[in-house]
């Protein structure tokens, strides 16, 4: 059997790479430190962005690759690598088709912050029953696909769970394996190439060798939406081998109330360091944000970094309402029945009835009495917003440059209110890669042979700020590219020439965390 491709990390990028490598004829060893596959990808709730898709055409949405490219570059303040963005955009349609061909229904689309047109695809919410979050649905479908490979061609795929990768190994110029610890024992796993899909470093807050401490110490006091496994292991391992890093000071915050850039404050545990991510689709379907004075303070469909800044500037900590915000600046997210129906009742009820993030008030006056917000201010805020919804306003854009107003908020109708606060969500910086997902060697000024990376472990795609839905897209696009690229590697003739010869400089290196 030929040497395998080793994939480190079992989230969306890792599963996409696994499927492509297997379909390319390679044997694969997939390694993850957790008890099950999925990573942060399984928690994604807003969707996957793409342009010129069949779903867009069916819904009458006019989009183009130039619009998508422009939105992505603009959101990243043009600090993005345009070569990588071109790949991201050009491969986006195929990425959605890849998921749909593997059993994911992406038949609904949301308009999310920073996008000029609706293009963030997600799983339609059922009218009743249990909703399927888009991240969980995608991961479940790709895990099923991987299991089908195991059933149809045993021996082609090996999955190692609860196995921690602690370093990369190399043979001559090639990265060919990893050192792992499993069951308390250390061993080397050998192959012909390594793909790192280990995610970001948002939870890497310990002072010893902490990437957050090194690159974003000013954000260490903020809560996070990430699991404890987001330690930056892939970045650290590749860096120890001389890999080039890019954009490491770009850490995205979650500030709004219902999407990738927002974090719910749980009334049952306001001070929890890990927050539950609020789907950006909530804002796309009509949620608005106000501060404790009853005033809107920004465009709810603006960029994530913009909304984060507005909350931090215009919102104060809340003490009594719904358990308070534990000293964190917090906004009130307002939702109503019309928005809930548009979002999907089962999905909304998960936030409202199961997680209990939302509290229902009979009307605006009831909200005013409970919160202490001046009713005259609150009613003026909602009336002014409603004028844009029904077309009574003199202008098409409000004072925050918002031009899309999904639902009105009648003063006499029920309101659902949740508290949200900024939280560390995503790290845009990481390993520098090229269009083939090859990792750059900083000292050689060219890519390593046999080392690839995809997903949040990399940098360059998003620039200074990421658009909603571009994370899942990046995982699929570059995960598939990495899998295809690694499967094609064949250095058997080169390697055979080493037999019986003394190692040359750079041969059989071992670098560990």
Q: How confident is the model at residue 1 (pLDDT cuts 50, 70, 90)?
A: very low
Q: Is 502 part of a structural domain of the chain?
A: no
Half-sphere exposure of 28 (CA within 13 A, CB side): 33
Contact 211, 198 (CB under 8 A): no
Contact 325, 421 (CB under 8 A): yes
Pair 24, 152 in one domain: yes
CATH code for the domain of 486: 3.50.50.60
Residue-level pLDDT at 258 = 28
CA dist 283 and 300 (Å) reads: 6
Q: Is 31 part of a structural domain of the chain?
A: yes
Q: How confident is the model at residue 32 (pLDDT cuts 50, 70, 90)?
A: very high
Q: Is 480 part of a structural domain of the chain?
A: yes
Q: What single DSSP character describes residue 345?
A: H
Question: Which of 18-27, 67-76, 222-231, 345-354 shows the lowest per-residue confidence on average (mean pLDDT)?
Answer: 222-231
CATH code for the domain of 288: 3.90.700.10
Q: Decide which of 421, 456, 478 is a domain's last residue.
A: 421
Q: Decide which of 390, 421, 452 is a domain's last residue.
A: 421
Q: Is 323 part of a structural domain of the chain?
A: yes
Pair 281, 381 in one domain: yes
**What pLDDT, in 10s, does the model give residues 259-275?**
334 789 999 999 888 88
Q: How far, CA to CA in Å, does 278 sit from each of 69, 281, 503?
A: 26, 8, 53
Long-range (24+ apart) CB contacts under 8 A made by 315-324 are 315/291, 316/291, 316/292, 318/292, 318/419, 321/292, 321/370, 321/371, 321/419, 322/265, 322/267, 322/359, 322/417, 322/418, 322/419, 323/265, 323/266, 323/267, 323/268, 323/270, 323/419, 324/270
Pair 444, 378 in one domain: no
Pair 301, 383 in one domain: yes
When pLDDT is averaged across residues 341-363 and rounded to a whole number, the result is 93
Pair 329, 241 in one domain: no
Q: What single DSSP character describes residue 488?
A: T
Pair 275, 240 in one domain: no
**What pLDDT, in 10s, does the model give residues 454-499?**
999 999 999 888 898 999 999 999 999 999 999 999 877 665 544 4
Model confidence at 254: pLDDT above 80: no
Which domain does 326 fall in, by range? Answer: 256-421
CA dist 398 and 199 (Å) reads: 38
> Tokens 């507005």 sit at which residue?
310
Q: How many domains does the chain have?
A: 2
**What pLDDT, in 10s, does the model give residues 111-161?**
988 899 999 999 988 777 777 889 999 999 999 999 998 888 888 999 999
Q: Residue 430 pairs with which residues in a beta bridge? A: 246
CA dist 274 and 125 (Å) reads: 26
Pair 280, 154 in one domain: no
Which residues have a Cβ under 8 Å from the Cβ of 241 and sit 6 or more positions away? 168, 170, 175, 441, 448, 451, 509, 511
Q: Residue 263 pairs with which residues in a beta bridge? A: 277, 421
Q: Is 318 part of a structural domain of the chain?
A: yes
User: What residues act catalytically?
Assistant: 260, 283
Q: Is 47 part of a structural domain of the chain?
A: no
**What pLDDT, in 10s, does the model give residues 381-416?**
999 999 999 988 888 999 999 999 999 999 999 999
Q: Of 142, 109, 134, which Cα lies nearest the Cα of 15?
A: 142
Pair 385, 245 in one domain: no
CA dist 454 and 240 (Å) reads: 18
Q: Decide which of 421, 447, 467 is a domain's last residue.
A: 421
Q: Is 265 part of a structural domain of the chain?
A: yes
Q: How far, CA to CA in Å, does 462 sit from each of 70, 393, 413, 471?
A: 12, 36, 40, 9
Pair 434, 397 in one domain: no
Q: Is 63 part of a structural domain of the chain?
A: no
Residue-level pLDDT at 249 = 61
> Tokens 């046999």 sit at which residue?
450
Pair 300, 362 in one domain: yes
Pair 24, 148 in one domain: yes
Pair 21, 168 in one domain: yes
Q: How confident is the model at residue 212 (pLDDT cuts 50, 70, 90)?
A: confident
Instruction: Choose between 510 and 396: higher pLDDT.
Output: 396
């Amino acid at each position: 059997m030929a040497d395998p491709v080793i994939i480190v990390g079992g989230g969306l990028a890792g599963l996409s790479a696994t499927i492509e490598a297997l379909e390319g004829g390679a044997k694969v060893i997939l390694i993850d430190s957790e008890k099950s596959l999925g990573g942060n990808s399984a928690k994604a709730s807003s969707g996957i962005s793409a342009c010129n898709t069949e779903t867009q055409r069916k819904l009458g949405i006019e989009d183009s690759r130039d619009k998508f490219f422009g939105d992505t570059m603009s959101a990243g303040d043009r600090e993005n690598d345009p070569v990588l963005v071109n790949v991201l955009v050009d491969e986006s349609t195929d990425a959605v088709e890849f998921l749909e061909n593997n059993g994911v229904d992406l038949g609904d689309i949301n308009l999310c912050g920073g996008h000029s047109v609706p293009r963030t695809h997600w799983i339609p919410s059922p009218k009743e029953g249990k909703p399927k979050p888009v991240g969980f649905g995608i991961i479940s479908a790709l895990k099923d696909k991987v299991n089908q490979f195991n059933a149809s061609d045993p021996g082609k795929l090996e999955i190692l769970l609860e196995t921690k990768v602690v370093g990369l190994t190399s043979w001559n110029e090639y990265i060919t394996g990893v050192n792992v610890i499993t069951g308390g024992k250390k061993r080397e796993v050998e192959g012909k190439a390594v793909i790192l899909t280990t995610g970001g470093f948002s939870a890497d807050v310990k002072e010893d060798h902490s990437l957050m401490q090194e690159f974003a110490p000013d954000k260490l006091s903020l809560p996070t939406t990430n699991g404890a496994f987001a330690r930056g292991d892939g970045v650290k391992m590749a860096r120890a081998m001389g890999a080039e890093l890019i954009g490491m000071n770009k850490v995205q915050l979650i500030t709004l109330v219902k999407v990738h850039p927002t974090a719910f404050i749980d009334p049952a545990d306001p001070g929890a360091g890990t927050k539950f991510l609020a789907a950006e689709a909530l804002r796309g379907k009509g949620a608005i944000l106000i501060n404790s004075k009853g005033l809107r303070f920004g465009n709810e469909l603006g960029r994530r970094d913009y909304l984060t800044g507005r909350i931090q500037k215009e919102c104060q900590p809340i003490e009594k309402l719904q358990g308070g915000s534990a000293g964190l600046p917090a906004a009130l997210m307002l939702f109503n029945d019309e928005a809930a129906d548009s979002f999907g009742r089962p999905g909304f009820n998960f936030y409202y009835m199961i997680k209990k993030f939302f509290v229902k008030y009979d009307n605006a006056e009831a909200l005013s009495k409970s919160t202490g917000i001046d009713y005259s201010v609150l009613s003026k805020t909602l009336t002014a917003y409603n004028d844009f919804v029904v077309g009574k306003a003199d202008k098409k854009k409000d004072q925050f440059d918002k031009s899309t107003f999904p639902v009105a908020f009648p003063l006499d109708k029920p309101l659902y209110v949740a508290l949200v606060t900024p939280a560390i969500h995503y790290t845009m910086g990481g390993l520098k890669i090229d269009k083939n997902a090859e990792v750059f060697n900083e000292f050689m000024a060219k890519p390593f042979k046999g080392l690839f990376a995809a997903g949040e472990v990399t940098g360059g795609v998003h620039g200074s700020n990421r658009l909603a839905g571009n994370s899942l897209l990046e995982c699929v696009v570059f995960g598939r590219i990495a899998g295809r690229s690694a499967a094609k590697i064949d250095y058997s003739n080169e390697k055979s020439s080493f037999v019986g010869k003394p190692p040359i400089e750079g041969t059989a290196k071992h670098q560990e965390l």
